[in-house]
Structure 1
Amino acid sequence: MSTKVWVLGNGQLGAMLAHAGKPLALDVRPIDIMVPTDEKLPLAADDIITAEREQWPESALSLQLSTHANFINGPVFGRLADRFTQKSLLDELKVATAPWEPVDDKSDETTLHSRYGDRVLLKRRTGGYDGRGQHWLKQAEDSKIPADWRNLAIAEQAINFDEEVSLVGARGQDGKCYFYPLTLNLHQDGILMASIAPLSRLAPLQTQAEEMLSTIMHGLNYVGVMAMECFRLGDKLLVNELAPRVHNSGHWTQAGCHIDQFQLHLRALCNLPLHRPQVNFQCVMVNLIGIDKDDRWLSLPNAELFWYNKEVRPGRKVGHLNLSVHNRVHLADSINQLKLWMPQQYQAPLDWIMAEFFNA
């Protein structure tokens, strides 16, 4: 019988985990934990549980899954879902991150500006991904701390970073770690729009990034794939966010590597052999945000479409395109076609991709 892996959540990450499990003869079952039900899942003692998200509503199904003895990394999800405990962990492990402090009843704008400068970013402790749950305190505008954010947020120093990068890695049950190359990311309105990997100019930062993520995964006794989003300031990295799961910025591995992040995660969870993924070629990932499916994308000879079959809404991730960079001519042709086919909010990200390859 094949090993069963149950996934808390059945969004696109769960679906891609299920797809990745098939070649490994793993029975991966994403579970919709949002639908109220009194039914019980037929969990066996040796089944394995993982999650596609850091937080979930309490329900009969989520309780059954999250209290199972084989819920891998169970204590980690809540710890990293709360920015207070996530940042506290980074400080405890001496991993560089932006200076910060909790926002409580005693916090005031004058003190925060004196400590962190004229721009201070408030972040809700939980939730608030993709640009939500953030509030800027700008001294020039006399911005105020929202009353209902006290004791529910942290304050961070604004970082004037050069660019945003991420590292996706995995730790096995034997404690050994394996990493993909650093990925260059572009965010727009707080949402990831595009990623490029690998890039030779980021290679000098690879060892530093691997040491940081190794420290975090060892500190948590973590098993599986974890993503670390960072700000690059010159030749130094600062951790911005951690995700204890497969991650949007690792989607390029589906086209560019012989083991993608989803299969690597499952291998680690199920104690299957692990090794450093082989990069077959450079890849560009374009997130599809709030736009309708366009079958013309399939005409691009170097494109792979992953459509999540979700209702299209503004700001919602509904799919992604992986563009294989076999040569720059094909990439330029594909980007120029996408510029004609995609709406205005994609013009700047597509120009960013072109600039990285042709103006570097």
Structure 2
Amino acid sequence: MIEPLPSGSVVGILGGGQLGRMLAVAASRLGYRAHIFEPGAAPAADVAHAWTRAGYDDADALRTFAASCDVVTYEFENIPAASLDLLAGAAPFHPNRRALEVSQDRLTEKDFLAGLGLAVAPYAAIEGPGDLEAALAETGVPAILKTRRFGYDGKGQARVTAREEAEAALATLEGAPAIAEGFVTFSKEISVIAARGLDGSVAAYDPGENVHVDGILSTTTVPAAIPAALRTDAVLLASRILTALDYVGVMGVELFVTRTGLVVNEIAPRVHNSGHWTQAGCAVDQFEQHVRAITGWPLGDGTRHADVVMENLIGADVARAPALAAERGVQVHLYGKAETRPGRKMGHVNRVTGPAR
């Protein structure tokens, strides 16, 4: 039995966006105080105990931040390696450095997943234009070119539908180290949100079925319309990844459903957009689950009591929030962002569609 951190302890969160905001709220429900580290605008700071506004390369600020925290976690992956080294030596840090190293680089991630014997899309590294022809010979065309680092919500990507488009597509990535991925024919995209505790216990939520529009998640529907056996396979696959990384915290695992089984698209070593439905569908949502995991609490079992559709409010969609709030069974979550921009996640709604099936 691991003794949880005592009430009043400080949970440090790297990143001040909406995920950090919801983590801070979850931490408060367990009696913890949240300290946000974010160099820019920080919606999470509105609901936190403290905010350090400094760059991720500010070693003094990072040391002071770590000294004030009883445990440190993060809401996004792109934290500089030097900052990780400093933080990991100054306070308990979860999820661990290995998980970040794997997820920060798409090539490293693909190699890791393939090394576990998991199915992934055909892929090949591209260090420069001279690698392009060989890479596409490996993946086939159509393919998608992606920067190895710093891409999200469809950014840092370029499609290649014919070989004569390849050089121009690569040029849009502006010389960044890249990877080519072959297309996967799939019937659905699903994701599993799973957690592993300090004691090695694992708990997973039911897979959700995702729909993307313009590279950004639009909706997640639970339960996913897949056979029960495939749901079990997806959960076991996620558990395998967590254990291989000696992971502590919540992870999102995105999967393609194909004729031959499940193909891993990518992993995210943090709470995940496609897990927001847990706020309306489970007694313990993904944010509380993450806080439980990193502070030594027992994990919630993830049992679902309701069917839910999560819808992101992107850009001007946020204006629909009051009308949506008038609908029966709708739960509104707005992120407190001051500026509305096209493609920017401004909030989400969870619509309960009935008791769990």
Class of the TM-score when normalised by the shorter of the 2 chains = 0.7 to 0.9
Q: Deviations over 1:87-138 (max 9, x none)?
A: 1111221121111111124744443343322212111001111011111223
Give the letter aligned to residue 145 of structure 2: L
Judge conservation of contact 1:55–1:78 (CA < 8 Å) in 2: no
Indicate the residue corresponding to 1:176 in structure 2. Answer: 201
Structure 1 residue 36, shift from structure 2 partner: 3.4
Indicate the residue corresponding to 2:312 in structure 1. Answer: 287
Indicate the residue corresponding to 1:232 in structure 2. Answer: 257
3-state DSSP of counterpart to 2:118: coil
Match of 1:69 among 88, 91, 108: 91
Q: C-alpha distance in 2, partners of 1:58/1:242? A: 19
Identity of aligned residues (%): 37
Q: C-alpha distance in 2, partners of 1:109/1:131? A: 21
Distance 1:308 1:59, change over 3 A: farther
Indicate the residue corresponding to 1:305 in structure 2. Answer: 332
Higher alpha-carbon deviation: 199-208 or 16-25: 199-208
Indicate the residue corresponding to 1:333 in structure 2. Answer: none
Indicate the residue corresponding to 1:249 in structure 2. Answer: 274
3-state DSSP of counterpart to 1:49: strand
Judge conservation of contact 1:162–1:232 (CA < 8 Å) in 2: yes
Indicate the residue corresponding to 1:89 in structure 2. Answer: 112
Distance 1:314 1:218, change over 3 A: same
User: Aligned-pair RMSD on alpha carbons?
Assistant: 2.6
Query: TM-score scaled by structure 2?
Result: 0.84
Distance 1:46 1:235, change over 3 A: same
Indicate the residue corresponding to 1:342 in structure 2. Answer: none
Q: C-alpha distance in 2, partners of 1:64/1:110? A: 41
Q: 5+ residue gaps in structure 1?
A: 328-356
Q: Deviations over 1:264-319 (max 9, x none)?
A: 11111111112422211100000011114332221112111100111110101010
Indicate the residue corresponding to 2:231 in structure 1. Answer: 206
Indicate the residue corresponding to 2:351 in structure 1. Answer: 323
Structure 1 residue 218, shift from structure 2 partner: 1.0
Indicate the residue corresponding to 1:331 in structure 2. Answer: none
Query: TM-score scaled by structure 1?
Result: 0.83
Q: C-alpha distance in 2, partners of 1:270/1:56? A: 21
The count of residues paired between Structure 1 and Structure 2 equals: 328
Give the letter aligned to residue 131 of structure 1: G
Distance 1:111 1:46, change over 3 A: closer
Distance 1:155 1:107, change over 3 A: farther
Distance 1:304 1:208, change over 3 A: same
Judge conservation of contact 1:36–1:59 (CA < 8 Å) in 2: no
Structure 1 residue 211, shift from structure 2 partner: 2.1
Q: Deviations over 1:241-274 (max 9, x none)?
A: 1000000000000001000000011111111112
1:11 aligns to 2:17 (yes or no): yes
Q: 5+ residue gaps in structure 2?
A: 1-6, 41-52
3-state DSSP of counterpart to 1:36: coil
Q: C-alpha distance in 1, partners of 2:85/2:134? A: 42
Q: Which structure is higher in RCO with an 8 Å CA cutoff and minimum separation 6?
A: 2
Indicate the residue corresponding to 2:70 in structure 1. Answer: 47
Q: C-alpha distance in 1, partners of 2:277/2:135? A: 39
Q: C-alpha distance in 2, partners of 1:140/1:84? A: 22
Structure 1 residue 83, shift from structure 2 partner: 0.6
Q: C-alpha distance in 2, partners of 1:57/1:137? A: 31
Indicate the residue corresponding to 1:117 in structure 2. Answer: 140
Indicate the residue corresponding to 2:288 in structure 1. Answer: 263
Q: C-alpha distance in 2, partners of 1:202/1:33? A: 45
Q: C-alpha distance in 1, partners of 2:166/2:20? A: 40
3-state DSSP of counterpart to 1:201: coil
Distance 1:208 1:263, change over 3 A: same
Distance 1:245 1:77, change over 3 A: same
Distance 1:71 1:263, change over 3 A: same
Judge conservation of contact 1:102–1:151 (CA < 8 Å) in 2: no
Structure 1 residue 63, shift from structure 2 partner: 7.4
